[in-house]
Structure 1
Amino acid sequence: MALRLRGNGPINLHFLDVTRVAGETMTGHVDLNVAQAQNDNVERLSIKFKGIVRCRISTSTGAGGVTHHSDTIILCDEQISLWDRGSAFPPPGSHILSCPFQFTIPETAPPSFHCEGYYRKATISYALEVVGQRPGRFKENRNVRQPITVLAAASQAQLLLTQSLRQGWSGAYKTWTTDGKLKEGLWGKHSHVRVMLDIPDLTSYPNATAIPFRLHVETDTKPLPMSDAPVDKHGNPFFPAPPASSSHVRLRLHRTVDIRVRPIHSGHVDDDFLLKGSLGDSVRLAAVSQVTDEPEWIPSTGPKDKKGLGIWRRAVHFSTTVTIPYTPTVQTDILNWRYFLRFTIPFPMLGDDIRLDVPLQLHSSLACPPPSIGVAGSSDMAYADVIPAGPPPPPIDLPPSYSTGEHHVWDGDEKN
């Protein structure tokens, strides 16, 4: 964790650059070089803390033009006056006046968020802005902006659930299932594939926490004459063979974002994210346990089945975990999103992939810090500024430009 120092002329903002949690009290201070401020005609110094939800949907005018429609919800909008010319002076022998400030993030504040698609864009953003007012025409104010990453706070029950998962889940599991029919060619009978996922039986799951699961893939060949093994005369496995390795299974986190611009415009943005250290990750195969069943010959028994025919049933079972370092699920009047674990089992025929989508809600894995406490005699440090027990706050899905303030909106002035 590092102290973030941002400045503009006589103004410097001192604020620790850490992920914040809803309900947390943030502290910092602004250093003002009073001599420079007077020479620069700065008359007043204040600091704002603002959070917004903003959605934008663009529509074509039909003649090559585009119309932008936007809607905004103000989450928080506070301002503190820090200094007026002549109201306070630096200590003797110094030109620097230190102005402390404190803001509390609303307990119900949704987490920072950003998504962007074709003609659609949505942001939940928070920032501090220090304003040095310079009266008079053609004199721009001196502004210093600091984006803030905010995560939702977990409830006590959610924290206990997170602890249970981290210590090794011993509770109940629920099963999601899909099946499909495949053909090796244009003619002939179908083969069958069944995909089953066992995952802890929870209504929501903590982000940035390893979630255990078991994936089962079972395949049945089309009816075949009895053979000694599920391979053809060339030694190739009969179609469809289950995945030989966990790296052959594709696992993605699919996110669907619903965007609304009141009163009439709506749209959505879909994204897929690679989840590292789980199925489909060829770098960390050791993190996946794999068990392959012995092939089973099952004779055909139906009245219309020919004698000597049957199917080969084969199955493979993968056990591992998945960690999802993405923004907890949120619903607002103009913006909400939902997640799916998307498992794709590829087979060597065009269009014959089998997909299992498992919906899941995400909640925060972090508690709200207690009120500000002094550390090492500094009034600018709070609980979030000290490394707490447990893992660090998880990263969330924000673009690199978020840290520059590009996606934050002040006073209705949106930067594209």
Structure 2
Amino acid sequence: MASVASKDGPVTLHFQDITRVAGETIQGHVELNVALAQGDSLEQLRIKFKGTIHSRIVAQTGKAAIAYHSTIMLFHTKLPLWSRGAAFPEPGTDILVFPFEFTLPKKLPPAFHCSATSRSATIGYSLEVVGERAGFYRTSRRIRRLISVVPAASQSQLLAKETLTRGWNGPWREITLEEKVRQGLWGNYSHAYLTVPDMSSYPIATAIPFKFRVQTETKPMRASDHSVDKPGKRLFPAPPAMSSDVKLILRRRAEIRVPPRTHHVEDEYPLEGSLGDVKRVAAVHQIVEEPEWIPMPGEKDEKGRGVWRRAINFEFTISIPYAPTCSTEILDWHYILRFIVPFPGLGNNLELEVPIHLDPGSACPPPPIGIAGSSTLTYADVLPAGPPPPMLDLPPYPTYFIPEGSSG
């Protein structure tokens, strides 16, 4: 896969737009059209690599709104590439090529962004090519590229991912919820049973198997007086008829700190190919159980009273492509899975919330061979097997970039 090019005037950046792992050596190259650079009054060319954590909280003081900021610099490196008169292209071409490489620090939090009214936070990584131009009123040429970064997975985290990828054969853990749902004055029980692999945490962007069972019981009645379901009218409370009737939402709660102030941001994301996805119902395997008559204590036959018990089982996998759970000095976040089973009536929904800790799932790749931009084939041109998948909550441009002054 070839590198992606970005251009500003005589300067072109070639850099592969993929998710990177902390500790990885990244490569690319910059092309400079010297003939165009002379006409553009370009004097110097350099590249910067930067990583920051930034939090922002706006507080209302009387009639004035004051913005408070807190920034942690993770790294900031500048490398010179070219200055006027220092190098010239080969005869027959106007192009100079400047390969570059940079090794990310080994301990980095994942790229991340969240925002709400009066508060926001970002963990952002970037490279920026800066071409300074002569003249007081001339702005510099700039090419900025965000870099998606995830922490490197430990050996135990890689083993957990491999175990899930091969098909889970380990122990399971069950989480249960029992609630009464009411129709008028009658209370009828509904149950939710969630079964998950018995792991303390789960790798991102990896298929995790889930089993979700919804079981309901009617109010006490005589079986001879009430069939289980009449055409067009099911006995209350009826379990969901299909997977799209149940909602599964990933909730993320972030805590933003600009000492001594603290605010929270909550976001919710649907999970494709799971419960509630009307476009991919077939991705969920469902089994409807036959209704079961449960006599009341002391009753022995259909002439006595009892309840109808009904249940539906869903089996599916979910892959969560969001930043791993993380905690820093001024920003942290965690996730919760919300299962919502709707029933008629106000306040009757059955809601099961399960905290889920997400881990990185990719090892740091070995150093590349050769220099990007040379004739040797390198990592910048051919990706290693199984590159980390892109995350969906990257910082939006240009939110991440914090002004540093005109010098760049």
Same fold (TM over 0.5): yes
8 Å contact kept, 1:20–1:148? yes
User: Could you tell me the TM-score, scaled by structure 1's length?
Assistant: 0.89
1:347 and 2:343 equivalent? yes
TM-superposed CA distance for 1:95, in Å, is: 2.7
8 Å contact kept, 1:100–1:380? no
Mean Cα deviation higher: 3-12 or 347-356: 3-12
**Over aligned residues, Cα RMSD in angstroms?**
2.5
1:16 maps to a residue whose letter is Q
Structure 1 match to 2:358: 362
Q: Find the residue that maps to 1:352 and give its secondary structure.
A: coil
Structure 1 42/169 Cα, relative in aligned 2: closer, same or farther at 3 Å?
A: same
Mean Cα deviation higher: 236-245 or 32-41: 32-41
1: CA distance between counterparts of 2:361 and 2:70?
30
2:311 maps to a residue whose letter is A
Structure 1 match to 2:31: 31
Structure 2 match to 1:270: 266
2:43 maps to a residue whose letter is E
Structure 1 match to 2:108: 109
TM-superposed CA distance for 1:116, in Å, is: 1.5
Q: Find the residue that maps to 2:57 and give its secondary structure.
A: strand
Structure 2 match to 1:88: 87
1:68-120 superposed Cα distances (whole Å, 9 cap, x missing partner): 11111111111111123332222233332222211111121222211111212
8 Å contact kept, 2:23–2:364? yes
Structure 1 384/351 Cα, relative in aligned 2: closer, same or farther at 3 Å?
A: farther
1:251 and 2:248 equivalent? yes
2: CA distance between counterparts of 1:282 and 1:128?
40
Structure 1 233/61 Cα, relative in aligned 2: closer, same or farther at 3 Å?
A: same
Structure 1 match to 2:56: 56
8 Å contact kept, 1:230–1:295? no
Instruction: Find the partner of 2:401 among 380, 405, 409.
Output: 409
2: CA distance between counterparts of 1:265 and 1:292?
51
Structure 1 match to 2:210: 213
Structure 2 match to 1:260: 257
1:281 maps to a residue whose letter is D
TM-superposed CA distance for 1:21, in Å, is: 1.7
Structure 1 match to 2:390: 395
Alignment gaps of 5+ in structure 1? none
Structure 1 match to 2:183: 184
TM-superposed CA distance for 1:235, in Å, is: 7.2
Q: Find the residue that maps to 1:383 and give its secondary structure.
A: coil
Structure 2 match to 1:159: 158
Structure 1 302/53 Cα, relative in aligned 2: closer, same or farther at 3 Å?
A: farther
1:406 maps to a residue whose letter is P
Instruction: Find the partner of 2:295 among 291, 299, 306.
Output: 299
1:289 and 2:285 equivalent? yes
Q: Find the residue that maps to 1:311 and give its secondary structure.
A: strand
2:72 maps to a residue whose letter is I
Structure 2 match to 1:12: 12
8 Å contact kept, 1:250–1:344? yes
2: CA distance between counterparts of 1:379 and 1:372?
14
2:131 maps to a residue whose letter is G
1:179-222 superposed Cα distances (whole Å, 9 cap, x missing partner): 1111111x2x3111111100001111111111101111111222
Structure 2 match to 1:131: 130
2: CA distance between counterparts of 1:6 and 1:165?
38
TM-superposed CA distance for 1:411, in Å, is: 4.3
TM-superposed CA distance for 1:381, in Å, is: 5.7
Instruction: Find the partner of 2:233 among 232, 236, 250.
Output: 236
Q: Find the residue that maps to 2:249 and give its secondary structure.
A: strand
Mean Cα deviation higher: 53-62 or 114-123: 53-62
1:198 maps to a residue whose letter is T
Q: How many pairs are equivalent?
A: 402
1:285-309 superposed Cα distances (whole Å, 9 cap, x missing partner): 2222222222222222289xxx933
8 Å contact kept, 1:27–1:381? no
1:100 maps to a residue whose letter is P
Structure 1 match to 2:72: 73
Q: Find the residue that maps to 2:183 and give its secondary structure.
A: coil
1: CA distance between counterparts of 2:106 and 2:378?
17
1:252 maps to a residue whose letter is I
1: CA distance between counterparts of 2:28 and 2:108?
20
TM-superposed CA distance for 1:342, in Å, is: 0.8
2: CA distance between counterparts of 1:227 and 1:76?
75
1: CA distance between counterparts of 2:204 and 2:211?
19
Structure 1 235/113 Cα, relative in aligned 2: closer, same or farther at 3 Å?
A: closer
1: CA distance between counterparts of 2:352 and 2:404?
42
Q: Find the residue that maps to 1:43 and give its secondary structure.
A: strand
Question: Hey, which bits of structure 1, 4+ residues long, moved more than 6 A?
Answer: 232-235
2: CA distance between counterparts of 1:340 and 1:250?
14
1:121-140 superposed Cα distances (whole Å, 9 cap, x missing partner): 11111111112223553232
User: Could you tell me the TM-score, scaled by structure 2's length?
Assistant: 0.91
- 1:145-156 equivalences in 2 (<5 Å): 145-156=144-155
2: CA distance between counterparts of 1:97 and 1:321?
50
Structure 1 232/40 Cα, relative in aligned 2: closer, same or farther at 3 Å?
A: closer
1:221 maps to a residue whose letter is T
2: CA distance between counterparts of 1:378 and 1:40?
27
Alignment gaps of 5+ in structure 2? none
1: CA distance between counterparts of 2:227 and 2:179?
20
1: CA distance between counterparts of 2:325 and 2:158?
16
1:100 and 2:96 equivalent? no
1:204 and 2:196 equivalent? no
